A and B are shown apart, each in its own frame.
Chain A
């Protein structure tokens, strides 16, 4: 998928654990794990807003677009 979720990078920058983030954004660990591992197919604006608020960052810090390699 050409959209990469840099949640782990931002969490490392803010030195925040997945448990802590889970409590702050009121999301289950399972859902945050789906987001972190890049398995998620969509993200709600409300979730994005909560994560940005908890990590004090912009949506662009969390999401990145890369071109698909054509083989």
Chain B
């Protein structure tokens, strides 16, 4: 039990550390557009985004696969859906609730992967000479919508898991899967705000391009 707790704390620390590196690189690239190493920083960011995206895809795929196996092939699969994610007690309690919570978990990881897919698309399409384009603005807006969906589903999932616990169902710690709902909601708001600023940037850029 203590070992599990330590692993969980270690995971959180690694997660926070990687986010810090990501933000540091993002801030540096923002303020040093004209510097020589900008391309290198952007390349590192792009690689980091690809790694996160692939990781999320694998995670979503693994949970989806084991969830389907537990439903249609071997019910014991619910004991270890993904890295000791044990929802067997829930499946034993009610298959209906198991399907609902399992689908929610799968959906959340797919949405997280989808969010990073849009980030990759931005990296592939952005042009730093004329950065303000309707395509990029649309992608930023999509990111905000996906983040909003993740936030809403996370909060809903958390409430649902709490309700199930009150119904005396033994559930594992689901913070890794359902946590951070409020943060995602806040993130969605910030990104939506940035998208609106970006739209203003498009107007200014087109005006600048048509100034003789």
Residues of A bordering B, CB below 8 Å: 27, 31-32, 34-35, 39-44, 47
Q: Which residues of A contact B207 (CB under 8 A)?
A: 41-42
Known: A41-B206, A44-B212. 16 other contacts (CB 8 A): A31-B212, A32-B212, A34-B212, A39-B210, A40-B211, A40-B212, A41-B207, A41-B210, A41-B211, A42-B207, A42-B210, A42-B211, A42-B212, A43-B211, A43-B212, A47-B212
CA distance in complex: A40, B207 (Å): 8
| Interface of B, helix, strand, loop or mixed by DSSP | mixed
How far apart sit A32 and B212, CA to CA, in the bound complex (Å)? 8
Contacts of B212 in A (CB 8 A): 27, 31-32, 34-35, 40, 42-44, 47
Cα distance A16–B210 in the bound complex, in angstroms: 23
Instruction: Determine the residue in chain A with the shortest Cβ distance to B210.
Output: A41
20 sampled A-B residue pairs with Cβ under 8 A: A27-B212, A31-B212, A32-B212, A34-B210, A34-B212, A35-B212, A39-B210, A40-B210, A40-B212, A41-B206, A41-B207, A41-B210, A41-B211, A42-B207, A42-B211, A42-B212, A43-B211, A43-B212, A44-B212, A47-B212
